[in-house]
Amino acid sequence: MSESTDVASPYSLDAIVKGIADDLVSLRRGEISIKDAEARAMLAKQYMNGVRLVINARQSLEAAAKPVAIGGGK
């Protein structure tokens, strides 16, 4: 993956981070329970772990890939 590739967009990481921040605000206001906040944080953590695995796999595959000519070259 190139340095300029936007990693956050395809995985909606901005929405996940905003959700975590919103949950913290809701917790502080007493709008959600500690158990709810913990459950949401654990789900976000698992989602982020999944994204990390996908990114690592993609980087590994890209590093091992060999260039191939496209378009009828013999």
SS (H, E, C) the chain: CCCCCCCHHHHCHHHHHHHHHHHHHHHHHCCCCHHHHHHHHHHHHHHHHHHHHHHHHHHHHHHHCCCCCCCCCC
Q: How is the chain split into domains, by residue range? A: 9-60
Compute the average pLDDT of residues 29-52: 96
Mention every residue, 6+ apart, whose C-beta is less than 8 A from residue 64.
none
Instruction: Work out the percent of the chain whose per-residue pLDDT is above 70.
Output: 86
pLDDT greater than 80 at residue 5: no
Compute the average pLDDT of residues 50-68: 89
Q: Report pLDDT for 64.
A: 86
- Rg, C-alpha atoms of the chain: 19
Q: Report pLDDT for 50.
A: 93
